[in-house]
Each structure stands twice: as structure tokens, then as C-alpha cells.
Structure 1
Amino acid sequence: MAAGDEHQRRILTQIAPVSWEHPADRAALNALRRIPGFDLALRKIFGLFGERALRLAFKANAVRTSEKQYAWVHARLARVCEVLDLEERPECYISQTPVVNAGAVGFGKPFIVLNSSMLEVLSEDEVEAVLGHEVGHILSGHVFYRTLLILIRYLVLFRYPLAGLALIPIHVALMEWYRKSELSSDRAGVLAVQNPQVTMSALMQLAGGMRGVTLDLDEFIAQSDEYRAGGDLLDAVYKVLNVLGQTHPFAVIRVAELRDWIESGEYDRILAGEYQHRDENDDRPYREDLREAAKGYQDGARELFDEVDAAVDRLRDRLTGAFRGRAED
């Protein structure tokens, strides 16, 4: 273990990514892979650009971590790979970027990119949780599709609009899966640091942290509960519309999803050694994943409709009260 850790972490030997993956993530990705010609179309897009160009861009305009460059990031990544049992440590680059964010990109040999602003805003423990999140993407096989989505968004949709029109259905499908993949990798981040508070604090910082400002996690969790509790009719509609153009679920939603997963007991069971290993066949059928994902969507839709129904009732009561007041006058 690297020095400076405040508790002994369990090494999750040969843990299979399915152990932490969100069922909606697995179902969405499986559905994408079953579209005839989907992988072929994406690989043709990749062929236009290639991994070499991506890697050279970061080698030319970013700093690769090592024992001499950002040594603490290098050491934290080594520990994350040890805990999640990733044998070949990916390269990690620090890019001079003001947006607090990170990503895992590439095809044959994925690598991690941390924006420099993240190192200014997050603590070292929170950065380690982010590294765990990105390693989770790599282990789950997300990176190929995530990288192609980036290429579609920034190189095709914006630079070649006519080609972009043909790719809109693929873009929309990938965006929906992309958001669900974040929920899976948030869980990997928790397992990497084995301190849920650190991961949730990192999400809070990503939502609105800045250098020199101290934020309160309990207050942010309360905000998450308030968001989930709903509001009036417009609030319910905006919750759906606001996320459509987003690559990531809202931070308050991610915190709430993590809390649900932890409270379900899955997190503790994994730390106790009750998880699927990579050499075991995944006997969980695709249909079961689809049922779980569908149930999640149905529950979300039912919750939205309940919120809308309650908001309409409140609006009707207010209008009725107003009319009665006028009639009495």
C-alpha cells in the first residue's frame, strides 16, 4: 500500500466489473451492441481518426505523470489499480484546462486525462476517487464507446453537419448509455478508496467547488434529498428536459444513486468478498439486466408522473381557493 492511507483497504482480487455495474448501464450497452452494424459503423468512425492521433495530442500538450511528474497522482493511481486489480496501469496525463473534469480515452491502450483545475479544487483523496472512477470505466470496457462518442460530438457533429445528421440516432443512443455508465463508475470510485464520503465529496466539488472554499457534504446530501423530493409541475418537467443534453447525470442524482447502492448492502457485500470473479461465467442473462433497467426507468417515470399529478392537484386547489375567495368578496 502507498504511504499516507488512513485505513487498510481490501484488495478486490480478480473482481469482475459486473459486480459494480449499474443494471441500466449493462442493459443499455448490451442493447447498443445488438444493433446490426453498430460496432462496424463506430469502428469506421474510429478509422478516420485513430488512437495514435489522440495519444500524440496529449503527449504534445499535457504532462504525463510519473515518479518525477505529479508523483502523488502517479502513486494514487498505482494504489487504485492495486485495489481494483488492474494489472497494467494506464498512462495518466494532466492537461491545462479550467473545467474541473477528467476522462478515460483511447482504444487498444486507454489512458486517463485529469484537467489541471481538478488538482486545484479537489483534495488528494478526492482525486484518488476520481482515478478509481476512470479505472472503473477502463475495466468495464466503456472507453471504446466513450471515445467514439467524443469523436462524434466534437469532430463529426460540429465540423461535418451533414454527416452529423446521419449519426444523430447513434449519438442519442450513446448519450443515454453514457449517462448510465457514470453511475457504474461512481461505484468503482467508492470501491477504490473504500470511503463513500470521499467519493460523494468529490462529486460535490465537481458540481460547484472552487479553490479556497470549504463545502459541507451534509448540506449537499440534503440538497440531493430536496431535489429528489420534487416540486411543482414545472420542476417535474424540467428535471426530464434538463438532462437530455448532458453527458453526465447531475451530481445530486449521482450522490443519491450512490447512497441507494450503499444502503442496499451491495457495497458491504463486495468488501466482504462476495463478488463475481473475472474467471467466472456471467450467468446473469441479458434479459434480467433489461428487466432491472426497465424497472428503474418505470420507477423513475412513475415517480415523475406522481410528481406531475400532485403538482396539478396543488395547482387546482390554489385556483379553486382563489375563485372561492373572489366569490366570497
Structure 2
Amino acid sequence: MDFKIAKFRHPKEKLYGTIMLAAGLMIWIVLLLAIAISVLKGSILTIVPMLAVGLLIWFASFVVRSLIRAHMLGHYVLVSPNQFPQLHRMIEVSAQAVGLKEAPETFIYNSHGVMNAFAVRLVGRKRYIWLTSALIDADNGDQIRFVVGHELGHHVAGHLNDFSSFLRYPAYLVPFLGQAYSRARELTCDRVGHYLARDVDAARTALQMLACGSAKLNKVMNPQAFQDQEAMVPSFWGFILHIFSYYPRLTKRVQEVANWGALKNAG
């Protein structure tokens, strides 16, 4: 199958991504017009502090990302042909399957029991994936493939693209819009993870494991029972919590990936 991210992008990401882009561009245009008017009026000194703040923010971001990269290289374990070769091969094959010319460099770090994974861009165009040690311990091969696929989804979907992020950045000033866009992106990436795992049960159990956090219990958890908890979430308070969150509820994510898997099987 020829992978095309457009087929996996969640409808909500398409909607909120378009709104974010439109809102971001409008804000940038207004800002540029304000600068142009100030220049024409000879009030260029009024924009100097704004430009200085913008430059300072960019420089601070560069320094922080450079320090994080240095910490990563000195403290995390790089997955390579000479270090966990089986995992390295799986990541290479998965990256090729979603159309990435070069697999992200993957690092494992000691998370002291916290289960998580991250797609990262730091300095330059290099792509990275971070996997926590607890996540590796709790997952089986198919579940790890789902998690890796989810993080690859962020890369292949352009979620970490500096230019598009820059254009959308001012739109985060719009209340709740940035959160909605972020939640939708996670649903897209769950679909990519499902595509690579090729097993809806692996997808559901990988997600429920993030809720349980126990390698022992994860092996005997009932994904359908966890998914059914979604119906127990209070409508009002669940909605309030939802609109402030950058991630969908895990019960909702399990439900979404199960529905997606059923749709693909039916097709």
C-alpha cells in the first residue's frame, strides 16, 4: 500500500488546522500592517522593542533546544545497529512504510516509571523520537510498533514543521483553538500507529497501558472494558476538562482507534 498521510489525517485536524492557519495568517498580517504604518509615520522606534523581544524569544528557544540536544546525547541511549538492533530495524522499516526518507534518530531514556513517548525536532532539520524505559518494559512488539508509529505520524504529518508551526503560532491566542488542534493531531497519529501495528488490539492495549502504567496488569487488561469507561465520563465536567486539554481522553482515543480499525476492516 502506498502510504498517503491525507488518508489518515483526522477530519478534526483538517478543520482545526485550516482555522489555525487562517487565524495565524490574519494575526501576522495585522502585525505586519501595524509595523508598516509605524514605519510610514516615522515611528520606527516604537517597533524596535517588539523586534527585540521577538529576537530574544527566538534566541532563548535556540539555546534551550541546543541544551536539550546536548543532554540527550550525553544521557539517553541511542538506538542503532549496534545498540538494540532489532528495535532499530523495526523503526527503520516503519519509517520507510510511512514514506520518510530517513528514520528519526530514536533514544531511550530512564523515565523512573513514567510511560510516554515523544516526537521531537531540536536544532536543525534532524528528527528524533524519545521512548521511555518504562514504555519499552510494558509493551510487546506490536504495541511498541504502534507507539513508534504514533510518533512517526507526528513527523510525517508535518506537525513539527517549523514554517507551518510559525504561521499557526499566533492562533494559539484564540481560546481553546490550539487545544482542539492538538487533540485532533493525536487522533491522526493514532491512525498511523494502527496502520503500522496492523492490529487494533495492539493499538487499544498500547493506549490503555498509558492509563494503567503497569507492565504486569497491562498483559491482562480488558481493552473493551476500558473503552466502555468513555460512556461513564460526566457530560458537563468531561466537556470542561476536554476543552482545556491538549490531549484527548485515553478512553476516547481507544474508542476512536477501535472505530478506525473497524472501518478499515470493513473497507
- Aligned mates of 2:27, 2:59 — CA distance in 1: 14
Q: Structure 2 residue aligned with 1:36, among 13, 25, 28?
A: 25
Match of 1:220 in 2: 223
Match of 1:59 in 2: 73
Alignment of 1:251-262 (within 5 A): 251-262=250-261
Pair 1:104 & 2:119 matched: yes
Q: Structure 2 residue aligned with 1:175, among 159, 174, 179?
A: 179
Match of 1:140 in 2: 157
Structure 1 residues 212 and 111: CA distance shift in structure 2, 3 A: same
Structure 1 residues 61 and 39: CA distance shift in structure 2, 3 A: farther
- Aligned mates of 2:218, 2:212 — CA distance in 1: 11
- Aligned mates of 2:205, 2:135 — CA distance in 1: 13
Match of 2:242 in 1: 243
CA deviation map 1:53-107 (0-9, x unaligned): 4432311221111112222321221121132232211101112213200010116
Structure 1 residues 243 and 110: CA distance shift in structure 2, 3 A: same
Identity %: 21
Counterpart of 2:147 in structure 1: which amino acid? V
Structure 1 residues 264 and 25: CA distance shift in structure 2, 3 A: same
Q: Structure 1 residue aligned with 2:61, among 49, 60, 66?
A: 49
Counterpart of 1:263 in structure 2: which amino acid? A
Match of 2:46 in 1: none
Aligned pairs, number: 233
Structure 1 residues 53 and 18: CA distance shift in structure 2, 3 A: farther
Structure 1 residues 215 and 209: CA distance shift in structure 2, 3 A: farther
What is the CA distance between 1:139 and its match in structure 2? 0.4
CA deviation map 1:87-145 (0-9, x unaligned): 21110111221320001011622211111111121123211110011111100001247
Q: Does the Cα contact within 8 Å between 2:118 and 2:131 map onto a contact in 1?
A: yes
Q: Structure 1 residue aligned with 2:201, among 163, 174, 197?
A: 197
- Aligned mates of 1:111, 1:46 — CA distance in 2: 21
Q: Does the Cα contact within 8 Å between 1:220 and 1:252 map onto a contact in 2?
A: no
Counterpart of 1:242 in structure 2: which amino acid? L
**Once structures 1 and 2 are overlaid, which stretch shifts more, 118-127 or 51-60?**
51-60
The answer for unaligned runs of 5 or more in structure 1 is 1-11, 153-165, 270-329
Counterpart of 2:133 in structure 1: which amino acid? S
Q: Structure 2 residue aligned with 1:113, among 130, 143, 160?
A: 130
Match of 1:304 in 2: none
- Aligned mates of 1:68, 1:213 — CA distance in 2: 32
Alignment of 1:276-287 (within 5 A): none
- Aligned mates of 2:69, 2:238 — CA distance in 1: 37
Q: Does the Cα contact within 8 Å between 1:22 and 1:184 map onto a contact in 2?
A: yes
Q: TM-score, normalised by structure 2?
A: 0.76
Q: Does the Cα contact within 8 Å between 2:151 and 2:189 map onto a contact in 1?
A: yes
Measured on the aligned residues, the alpha-carbon RMSD in Å equals 3.0
Give the secondary structure class of the aligned counterpart of 1:181.
Answer: helix
Pair 1:26 & 2:43 matched: no
Give the secondary structure class of the aligned counterpart of 2:215.
Answer: coil
Q: Does the Cα contact within 8 Å between 2:194 and 2:261 map onto a contact in 1?
A: no
